[in-house]
Amino acid sequence: MTSVVVEPACGSTAWVERYGLSAVDTCRLAQLHAADRDGRVFSLEGDLGDFGGLRFAERYPGRFLDMGIAEASLIGAAAGLALRGKVAFVNTFGSFALMRACEQVRLDVAYHRTNVKIAGTFTGVAAGFSGPTHHCGEDLAVARSLPGMTVLAPADAVSAYQLTLAAAQLDGPVYLRLGVEATPQVYDENATFEIGRGNVLAEGADVTLVAAGLTTVATVLEAARQLAARGVHATVIDLHTIKPVDEELLVRSAKATGLVVTVEEHSTIGGLGGAVADVLAGSCPVPMRMLGLPDAFAHDVGSYADQLARCGLDVPGVRAAVESALRRWK
């Protein structure tokens, strides 16, 4: 008798025990499951098979390509597959995909509206000690500026899995922003995701906190809990889709609280904060503060946690910045 393997619900305790909390791994898992459902799905690697992509290679060797450290060729090959009717996932460092191979992403992927999904790892300062060559604080700005590019920033391994599956079904180019290590779990098995719609994780009348991305959303939730203990009640929005942005949700929350603070592990120029400001400036002007990476390269050597603290993107830094914004404007 053939045994039947029962897949645990995504986000459940059993699912986390089986697959872990690395968004890179669960993104690759979702690519594998998307390939199970759709024979058009290919997975292309930029010399990153050791991050979990080998499960795809073992099951679908004819649909797995490791292009090595040649990002321009990697993007071009993915676009070529897409033009032949395939759904091509690209797995490489975010900085290399959107900066080293920016021309190919712009012309081969965005211009032709090819069905290519770019899963960028080591984004923000997740590379820690590797320094500015591997830090990636400009990718959202680049991706947002490309016509027709959908931009997703999952908050944890659960949302990375779900949004990868959603990206596989979306017709057109997608950029998925990932880290590398395991990160805190934000969502459980009851979570739902829709591209273009943000998720409200907490509600409060004093300030709206808009966050996106691994580590960041969990940090903001903890900061909001500490603020609540001090009598400050925040609405927390996970804006996992940065393009197209959820204008209705942002305007509704800004009207309700009168103050918006955005938090992102990205430059404060052109990323999440810019997307939110674009919406509110035209529809609901309210005071805003943008927290993110400074307009400077990281010259101090340090771990991932060190780099986040240096930029004020740890829990104490976010909490203090929100309290400062409240004192200034409310």
In the three-class reduction of DSSP (H, G, I as helix; E, B as strand; rest coil), residue 290 is classed as strand
Decide: 313 and 291 in contact? Cβ < 8 Å.
yes
Q: Which of 17, 45, 58, 71 is catalytic?
A: 71
| Segments in the chain forming alpha helices (H) | 13-19, 23-37, 54-59, 71-83, 94-95, 102-104, 139-145, 157-169, 216-229, 247-257, 272-283, 304-310, 315-329
Catalytic annotation present for 248: no
- Is residue 181 within 8 Å of 22, Cβ to Cβ? yes
The values of phi and psi at residue 214, to 5°, are -60, 145
Nearest to 312 by CA among 302, 304, 320: 320
The two three-digit tokens of residue 57, written as one number: 């290679």
Which residues are the active-site residues?
A: 71
